Amino acid sequence: MCPVDPALRELAARLLTGTGLSPEVALDVACGRVAAPGPVAAALRDGWTAADPGEGSL
């Protein structure tokens, strides 16, 4: 995985506040590496898979 810009990671952490997910877990859920434990995680997974090919891929 490529390194993430610290400012982008901070923004992701702020957006995930209150969800119980860290940016790392959110990425794993979105990629399908771990099961979605709740509605926010399910939305991440569904949004990631609905993205156009190439969008959101690492």
Q: pLDDT for 10-41, tens place per residue?
A: 888 888 888 888 888 888 887 778 887 788 87
Tokens 């997974």 belong to 45
The pair of structure tokens assigned to 15 is: 């957006």
CA distances from 44 to 36, 37 (A): 8, 11
- Return the axis-axis angle of helices 39-50 and 23-31, rounded to nearest 10°: 50
Q: pTM surpassing 0.85?
A: no
**36 backbone dihedrals φ, ψ, rounded to 5°:** -80, 115
User: What span, in angstroms and rounded, lies between the C-alpha atoms of 33 and 55?
Assistant: 18
* Range with the poorest average pLDDT among 20-24, 41-45, 48-52, 53-57: 53-57
Give 58's pLDDT tier (boundaries 50, 70, 90): low
